[in-house]
């Protein structure tokens, strides 16, 4: 029988904080110190912690799809990453390698590209065996194809992306995994860089870490008018304040403008966003600012899932203005057509060069 532990909790981290209503910790996860630490952090946040008798996740979700979605999104499972999950995969064009601290995200984004990729209910699965994950990283040094062997980005060294399948800052108050990874990279005497992108702003616990400039935080941003597509996240203005705080603490910083949505009035909306970024970062001596520009796309699978999660959404995922594209694995995704892509790219490259002349655009996709 599962053991339930409850507390009122009194922790109040600054910034937008996700507090899972319940935390399921498997038997194997409890064998790791980090797994037990996650349970303790969750208790301090006021979560109900359920110690499972084995490693099977008993979710017991309601039959109603809307209630099942809501309860899944409020659930954190602490599990052990198997060897297959610890085998790193390339993640072009962002970084050489993908390193996963968790799978699943607490946000409620109506455009989530991963909606059709992760199997099962949309819970967050955090990995208890963090030491094993970090212990496997050295064998990947110098072996990547994105920055390790790139003339244009070789100053970044071997890069490891921590936000492919989760928002690591969003779950940080409950897990502590991001702080541990940043500290590990700071202590690692290697030509390597950790990268993460986030829609949250609770950076306080990261500011005093011994990061030694080996971590780049990027704020994932969109115009404030698109906030209705980003439920449960920090306001864009708060993300920009957090980005400045990180720069002042010596971190490398960047922006992930994603997904770029070509809705009516997009030129004005994104022009105002870029101006807001310039204002937020004004006066920083050398922010080492990078930009990653990612247009909206979806797969048939992600569209089907999102329409179930967010019925009646105003986000346009119709066929007009779209082009079908095949991935290298043969799957289908829908992107903006060539004319729209040209207009978007021309606008962003011109506007960024004028308003943020110190910034480097890493890629457009």
Q: Tell me: the pLDDT tens digits for 257-274?
A: 999 999 999 999 999 999
pLDDT digits 0-9 by tens, 272-281:
999 999 999 9
Helix-strand-coil split of the chain, %, nearest 5: 35, 25, 45
Convert the pLDDT of each residue in 208-228 to its tens digit. Answer: 999 999 999 999 999 999 999
Distances (CA, A) of 305 to 5, 111, 115, 293, 332: 33, 10, 6, 24, 15
Q: Quote the CA–CA distance of 111 and 4 in Å, as a whole number.
A: 35
Q: Which of 296, 259, 281 is nearest to 359 (CA)?
A: 281
Q: Would you give the end-to-end CA distance of the chain in angstroms?
A: 49
Tell me the per-residue pLDDT of 182-198, one tens digit each, with 9 for 90 and over. 999 999 999 999 999 99
Domains and CATH numbers, the chain: 3-364 (3.80.30.30)
Quote the percentage of the chain above a pLDDT of 90.
84
Q: Which two tokens stand for residue 116?
A: 């059709």
- Determine how β-strand 102-103 pairs with β-strand 108-109: unpaired
B/e letters for 212-231, b = 16+ CB within 10 Å, e = fewer, are eebbbbbbbbbbebbeebbe
Among 41, 133, 51, 153, which Cα is nearest to 86's? Answer: 133
Q: Between 311 and 97, where is the model more confident?
A: 97
At residue 159, the pLDDT reads 98
13: left (phi over 0), alpha (psi -120 to 50) or beta: beta
Task: Tell me: pLDDT of 6 over 50.
Answer: no
Residue among 63, 71, 101, 321 nearest 195 (CA): 101
Cβ-in-10-Å burial (0-12, 13-18, 19+) of 328 comes to: exposed
């Amino acid at each position: 029988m599962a053991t339930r532990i409850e507390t009122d909790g009194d922790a109040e981290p600054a910034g937008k904080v996700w507090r899972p209503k319940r935390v399921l910790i498997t038997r194997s996860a409890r064998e790791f110190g980090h797994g037990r630490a996650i349970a303790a952090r969750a208790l301090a946040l006021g979560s109900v912690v359920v110690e499972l008798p084995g490693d099977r996740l008993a979710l017991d979700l309601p039959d109603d799809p809307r209630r099942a979605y809501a309860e899944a999104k409020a659930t954190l499972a602490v599990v052990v990453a198997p060897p297959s999950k610890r085998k790193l995969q390339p993640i072009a064009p962002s970084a050489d390698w993908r390193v996963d601290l968790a799978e699943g995200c607490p946000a409620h984004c109506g455009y989530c590209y991963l909606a059709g990729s992760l199997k099962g209910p949309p819970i967050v699965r955090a990995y208890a065996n963090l030491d094993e994950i970090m212990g496997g990283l050295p064998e990947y040094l110098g072996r990547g194809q994105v920055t390790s062997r790139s003339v244009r980005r070789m100053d970044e060294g071997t890069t490891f992306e921590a936000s492919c399948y989760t928002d690591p800052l969003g779950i940080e108050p409950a897990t502590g995994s991001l702080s541990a990874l940043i500290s590990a990279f700071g202590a690692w005497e290697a030509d390597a860089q950790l990268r993460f992108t986030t829609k949250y702003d609770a950076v306080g616990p990261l500011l005093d870490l011994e990061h030694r400039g080996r971590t780049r935080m990027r704020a994932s941003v969109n115009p404030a008018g698109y906030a209705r597509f980003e439920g449960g996240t920090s306001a864009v203005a708060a993300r920009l304040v957090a980005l400045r705080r990180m720069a002042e603490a010596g971190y490398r910083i960047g922006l992930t403008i994603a997904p770029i949505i070509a809705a009516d009035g997009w030129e004005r909306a994104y022009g105002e966003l870029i101006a807001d970024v310039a204002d937020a970062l004004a006066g920083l001596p050398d922010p080492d600012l990078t930009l990653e520009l990612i247009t909206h796309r979806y797969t048939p699978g992600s569209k089907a899932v999102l329409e179930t999660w967010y019925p009646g959404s105003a986000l346009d995922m119709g066929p007009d203005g779209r082009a079908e594209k095949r991935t290298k694995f043969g799957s289908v995704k829908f992107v903006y057509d060539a004319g729209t892509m040209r207009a978007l790219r021309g606008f962003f490259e011109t506007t960024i060069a004028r308003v943020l002349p110190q910034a480097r655009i890493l890629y457009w996709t």
